[in-house]
Structure 1
Amino acid sequence: MKKDNWRLAYHLMPPDGWLNDPNGLCEADGVYHVYFQYAPNTPAPDGRMARTWGHYAGPDLINLSFKGVPFWPETLDRDGCYSGSALVEDDGTIDLYYTGNIKEPGDYDYIHDGRLSNTILVKTDANGDTYSDKHLLFGTKDYPKDCTRHVRDPKVWKEDDQYYMVLGARMNDDSGAVLFYESLDGVSWRLLKIEKTGEPFGYMWECPDYFELDGQPVLSFCPQGLEAEDFRFQNNHQSGYCLLGGELRGKQAFRPFHEWDMGFDFYAPQSFVDDRGRRIMIGWAGLPDKPYGNPTDQRGWENCLTVPRVLFKKGDKIVQKPISGLKRLRTHPSRPDAEGTLTLPDASGDIEIAFADPDAGWQIQIGSGVRVSYNGCIVRLTLDAQTGCGRDERLAQVDGVRNAKILVDRSILEIYLNGGETVFTTRYYEDFEADRSLDVTFGCEGADIYAWEMRPMPANQIYDEEENDIEV
């Protein structure tokens, strides 16, 4: 038996089973919480396999521990505790809001009939140790009549003692929208407005998130059903944001849509503000209904989250930068040659590059099957058939590349260009031999390169210390 060389060093992943959307992100009384969609390999207490939430917590976003499953599907959510969010109250307690999914047995399309979506509230303490009973706030019969049965993913926040909630929706005319609700107590809610673009922009908007950056309203959402273009909407489902004009309580105008990430694997991001005032976003490094694979499913686990990213407004766009706390995992610094090779003995590293000429072409080979290159205002991320498991190429138009940051972590890459103006995230699966040694070869004439190996964060050390019980 061997260790699983695709297990990650500094990205959160499930102990076993399936992970997808980040949920309930918050900091309460100095404790950070990262909940996530989780389908463990072991049955729920009722004996069924279940889609529910998993939970990591700790004093910061690096030193996290897995705390298990906070609640399991019951009557109100018998077919899954779906995505939701957290609101930290003034007394330090946490309100968890999420969608309880019910699929009625029968011959239904589960779009216009046969599905119930319950918006549910569960309360917990600042440590996330004890959980209240589930409280049904409203359900399918309470949503606007021009909605289909696809209404989900509540994100809740508070302004001036007023509670607000956004829900993603698919309307009966197959257009996506966001439902805005308001409440005085976080329990009794009324519809405030429905926001959508003037022309249909996809048939469904999932995982909405509303926040302000430097006083600018932002709506993040995941539109489904957009037609692919050469340099936009290259995945089967997208994830991005619009800056909004106008006030929250009135009609707001949508400015152009920007994708959060141009890679193969990014979806369902959620953000929160910590006690330091940082707007931090975490995404699922995956995609629903994807046309490519993750061979880790044969090893009993699948998917991971991105590293936490701090958001900053820059002109009419938002830039993303990995949290500075990741630097605490750095070890063995080096200065690779701009046209040389860096060997990462554990396939885990942090690479920073300053290019001598922003307009000059360059290329970087990562392992045997991944190439990142720039030429003629186009950045290409290319994976070969074996390494990509169906992932091939993603493109982005960029007016020069001044700098790059590449996070390498065994079976995931996060690539940040121009200080996080353009980002690519992808899973990749190097055919490691006895160990995880990975070569990164640079063709970046004149560039200054700094590199570090990265130590595993505490939550992931167990996977390096224990041998896998699956032949790999």
Structure 2
Amino acid sequence: MRFKKIEKYTYVEEKHMQYLEELKRFVADSKYLPKYHIYPKCGLMNDPNGLSYFNGEYNFFYQWFPFEPNHGMKHWGHCTSKDLSTWEDKEIALTPDMEYEKNGCYSGNSIEKDGLLYLFYTANYKTDNGKIPKQAVAVMDKEGNIKKHINNPVIDGAPSDMSGEIRDPFVFIKNDSYYMLLGAKSKKEKGALLLYTSKNLLNWDYRGEIYLPIDTGYMIECPGLIEVDGKDVIIFSPMGLKKEALRYQNQFATLYLVGKLDIENMKFDLEYMDEVDNGFDFYAPQAFYGKDNKPMMVSWFGCGEQVLPSDNEMWKHGLTMPHTLKLKEGRLCNFVSEELNDLFDDKNRFSSNTIKTKSNHYHIQFNMCKDNKNTWVIVGNDNDYWELSFDTIKNIIQVDRSNLKLKVDTLNGLKRCTEGLNKEEYKVDIYVDNSFVEIFINEGMKSFAFRCFNLSDKEHSIKFSHTNEGSINYCK
């Protein structure tokens, strides 16, 4: 088809709908599409927003620029599900058509009050002298009607010691009061976590900066707070952390802190911290409470500015599967929510060192033992594969994409390493969804999310360093 060149800061209007329908039909033929990950029907998808279980179903919103696979004017897309496996596309939820959001509806979360879902977001507003930070809110009723607050923005401007880089509101309730976290950059070029408070979700007062006892880089994005097994967990994405041998290897990192948020003294009492995920393509996760108040998380399946093979097919990125959050040995574990396993109804046992797959969409489960110095598994075909390896002597787990024919994001490296767990045996769950891969070690004590573009021929091999036993279960 013939693609149109549309100016970067254009919001979707009725006149664009026919072209977007043509784009969606074009994308539907892409050879890299997943089956069980959420992806954009056209254009670019990034941060998950407003995640909630509301009115008997899951509501997932997300950053979306529909016109092309590049960052541009961000809208909020919207989809719903009752079971986390079958999704209904609700198209655009928030269109940046007001003056105060003239450069996009940026990220935020949601909270339910009085049978309504309040959607908080950053109204992106750029000037020749830099950004003026503005935080806005829209309200969705149980029929799915969404209306922006008439007095937006509800927070306009920055505290005196902060720059104009303030965004990504995360609103929560604690001790019968409403609070908002905001990621920020100070005028001293340091990442900051800001706190506001409100009685009614519409009028907000600034409390100050929360002290975090770690390096916060030069900017904090996408902060969030959730209670997991009786502990407070802060999840956020600091920009500018110095790369280490076994940490912070992506362009931008995402961390979790386990402990207690002391709002009275404006500090976080830290017990444990680590990266949330160790893969190539993971950023801006959002934590939320699912059905039955279950702590959950979904992340952007991407990181930074990347050129991907799917760009030529007019779509880019996606979201991770929904993950359930638990604490184990003091660590935050994020493991695929159990509802998703209902998708894999074609179940097969194996005992071999080589498996020939029969589709690109499966869940494979096996154990890696400490008997050998180095154990590995490779996925793909000859001269076009990725590898997961365990060095039990050095206690390192690694994913290596250097043997893929289509290499992506090479400037940020082709390998990702993390410290192992010093276990006699590792339980491994790998979810392959064509060009999307998620790996979980010991049910999410470690995880790797990443893209690969080597499986579009429908059949490939899985090879182990030694004979292994396990199961491979194919998606419906």
Q: Shorter-chain TM-score: which interval?
A: 0.7 to 0.9
Amino acid at match of 2:439: I
CA contact (8 A) 1:388 1:427 kept: no
> Residue 149 in 1 paired to residue 164 in 2?
yes
Q: 2:474 aligns with which of 418, 443, 453?
A: 453
The answer to which of 350-359 and 416-425 deviates more is 350-359
> Residue 340 in 1 paired to residue 320 in 2?
no
Correspondence 1:369-388 to 2 at 5 A: 369-375=385-391, 376=393, 377-383=395-401, 384-388=403-407
Amino acid at match of 1:190: D
> Residue 228 in 1 paired to residue 243 in 2?
yes
Correspondence 1:10-25 to 2 at 5 A: 10-25=36-51
Give me the CA root mean square deviation.
2.0
Correspondence 1:140-179 to 2 at 5 A: 140-141=156-157, 143-179=158-194
CA contact (8 A) 2:272 2:330 kept: no
Cα separation, 2, equivalents of 1:249 and 1:325: 38
Kindly state the Cα deviation for residue 215 of structure 1 after the two structures are TM-superposed.
Answer: 2.2
1:390-434 per-residue CA deviation (whole Å, 9 max, x = no partner) reads 45111111023421000000001100001210001110011634x
> Residue 409 in 1 paired to residue 424 in 2?
no
Corresponding residue for residue 363 of structure 2? 350
SS at match of 1:70: strand
Kindly state the Cα deviation for residue 262 of structure 1 after the two structures are TM-superposed.
Answer: 0.4
Amino acid at match of 1:269: P
Change beyond 3 A, Cα 1:277–1:197: closer
CA contact (8 A) 2:61 2:78 kept: yes
5+ residue gaps, structure 1, are 43-48, 107-112, 456-472
> Residue 122 in 1 paired to residue 122 in 2?
no
SS at match of 1:155: strand
Correspondence 1:25-64 to 2 at 5 A: 25-41=51-67, 50-64=73-87
Cα separation, 2, equivalents of 1:137 and 1:103: 14
Change beyond 3 A, Cα 1:149–1:449: same
SS at match of 2:397: strand
> Residue 8 in 1 paired to residue 31 in 2?
no
Q: 1:263 aligns with which of 276, 279, 285?
A: 279
> Residue 307 in 1 paired to residue 297 in 2?
no
CA contact (8 A) 1:336 1:449 kept: yes
SS at match of 1:327: helix
Kindly state the Cα deviation for residue 202 of structure 1 after the two structures are TM-superposed.
Answer: 0.4
- Higher RCO (CA 8 Å, separation ≥ 6 residues): 1
CA contact (8 A) 2:233 2:260 kept: no
Change beyond 3 A, Cα 1:130–1:203: closer
> Residue 319 in 1 paired to residue 343 in 2?
no
CA contact (8 A) 2:155 2:204 kept: no
Change beyond 3 A, Cα 1:438–1:190: same
Cα separation, 2, equivalents of 1:134 and 1:100: 14
Corresponding residue for residue 361 of structure 1? 374
Cα separation, 2, equivalents of 1:127 and 1:369: 47
TM-score (normalizing by structure 2): 0.86
Number of aligned pairs? 434
SS at match of 1:153: strand
Kindly state the Cα deviation for residue 137 of structure 1 after the two structures are TM-superposed.
Answer: 4.1
Cα separation, 1, equivalents of 2:362 and 2:214: 44
Corresponding residue for residue 461 of structure 1? none
TM-score (normalizing by structure 1): 0.87
Cα separation, 2, equivalents of 1:41 and 1:10: 23
CA contact (8 A) 1:84 1:98 kept: yes
SS at match of 1:406: strand
Corresponding residue for residue 10 of structure 2? none
Q: 1:81 aligns with which of 105, 119, 127?
A: 105
CA contact (8 A) 1:336 1:342 kept: no
Amino acid at match of 2:461: D
Kindly state the Cα deviation for residue 133 of structure 1 after the two structures are TM-superposed.
Answer: 4.5
> Residue 66 in 1 paired to residue 82 in 2?
no
Change beyond 3 A, Cα 1:302–1:374: same
Identity within the alignment, %: 27
CA contact (8 A) 1:369 1:388 kept: no
